[in-house]
Amino acid sequence: GAVVSQHPSRVICKSGTSVKIECRSLDFQATTMFWYRQFPKQSLMLMATSNEGSKATYEQGVEKDKFLINHASLTLSTLTVTSAHPEDSSFYICSASGDREWYEQYFGPGTRLTVT
């Protein structure tokens, strides 16, 4: 149990376009979802935390108008990278916590974004 899926797993887009990444909790209700990005050989960097039905809380330095997060239901959160640029190329990972062990975050498989 406690499976989180992400779609797409890989995406290549042109500079200036927008990309949407979906994160779904498949077998539990995710009251809180987290979005991370990870550069090669670096640790996870939390971008934002979202609770179902409310606005996301962004970490310092993360542009909320560029990285749009929607957590419309207890099983789905989306991250939209707007007007993507090559420096946005990264590994984006979502995680979810909910009605299971409160302290445990279940991670999705990640999305590799490449902006050309």
Partner 1 sequence: GQNIDQPTEMTATEGAIVQINCTYQTSGFNGLFWYQQHAGEAPTFLSYNVLDGLEEKGRFSSFLSRSKGYSYLLLKELQMKDSASYLCAGMDSNYQLIWGAGTKLIIKP
Complex with partner 1: residue 63 or 101, whichever CB lies closer: 101
Q: Are strands 111-115 and 90-98 parallel, antiparallel or unpaired?
A: antiparallel
- The footprint of partner 1 on this chain (CB under 8 A) covers a number of residues equal to 20
The answer to the question of residue 98 lying near partner 1 (CB under 8 A) is no
Report how far apart, in Å, the C-alpha atoms of 79 and of each of 1, 66, 72, 97, 99 are.
24, 10, 12, 17, 22
Closest by Cα among 39, 18, 12 to 113:
12
- Of 13-21, 39-47, 64-72, 74-82, the segment contacting partner 1 by CB under 8 A is 39-47
Contacting residue, 1, 14, 43, 60, with partner 1 by CB under 8 A: 43
Of the candidate residues 93, 96, 113, 115, the single one contacting partner 1 (CB under 8 A): 93
- Angle (nearest 5°) at CA 32 between 94 and 111: 10
Q: Binding residues for partner 1, per CB under 8 A?
A: 41-46, 49, 91, 93, 95, 101, 103-110, 112
